[in-house]
Amino acid sequence: MSTPPDHALVRSIATEMKLLEGTDRMRLLDSLALIELVAALEDATGLDLLRLPLTVEMFRSVDSITELLGRAREAPS
């Protein structure tokens, strides 16, 4: 699965973008915020997240986004 550094990375990006509500829960994201978050994650990791089937539920918390990064790392290119 995903590595602990991914969790710290996601938390850092979400904090910088002012997307956190509490310590781990993401605020409700509009479509623009979601696109900006995906772009920031892709830039930071070099992963192509848009090749995966994405759902809004994958962006509800730092943990769920960290899991998404783990799946993206494991998915065939």
pLDDT tens for each residue of 16-39: 999 999 888 999 999 999 999 999
pLDDT tens for each residue of 40-75: 999 999 999 999 999 999 999 999 999 999 999 998
Domains parsed from the chain with CATH numbers: 4-74 (1.10.1200)
pLDDT at 57: 93
Contact 27, 60 (CB under 8 A): no
CB atoms within 10 A of CB 37: 20
State the sign of the Cα–Cα–Cα–Cα dihedral 15, 21, 25, 31: negative
- Scored b (16 or more CB within 10 A) or e, 55-65 reads eeeebebbebb
pLDDT at 33: 95
